[in-house]
Amino acid sequence: MTAARAQAGLQRLDGLHAAILSDLQQAVFPQSPWSVADCVSLISHPGTFGWLLLDNQTQPCAFLLARQTLNEVEILTFGVTAGSRRLGHGSRLLAALLEDAQQRKFNTVVLEVAASNDAAIGLYRKIGFVPVGTRPRYYRTENSNEDALLLRLHIEEERL
């Protein structure tokens, strides 16, 4: 991690952050909250890594959790709290992920996103993600089922 990113309040996730990650994940995705135990299990799983972003150096406001699978990186969960959106926090976390993935010699990042999440889809496309498929009725809530778009990014050195 660069000094600039450290100053921006970017912290590597570890098991000590499980409760914070659970709270953030619940704030961003209240329809599918993760327990602290879920977060501990994911964070401690080999090949899983991620970051927290602190707003004003003190308040956790964004997170990204990913895992390496064979020859690619999969984003497991990624979000920014409502009051901290449109401030570049999502872009900052994705930049950290891409830098880390390239250092690990991975050249592909994949993710799933709700088909109705226009803000997230716009961010991903701006960075270079392209749609590669759909998972019908992937996100299930009490009232509906929503498709997930599968997106993929091929990492290029000059992108970083």
Residues identified as active-site: 112, 124
Detail the DSSP E strand segments found in the chain. Answer: 10-12, 48-55, 59-69, 72-80, 108-114, 130-140, 145-154
Counting Cβ atoms within 10 Å, is residue 58 exposed (0-12), middle (13-18) or buried (19+)?
exposed
Rounded to 5°, the CA angle 106-102-14 comes to 90
Task: Give buried/exposed letters for 146-157 (b at 16+ CB in 10 A, else e).
Answer: ebbbbbbbebee
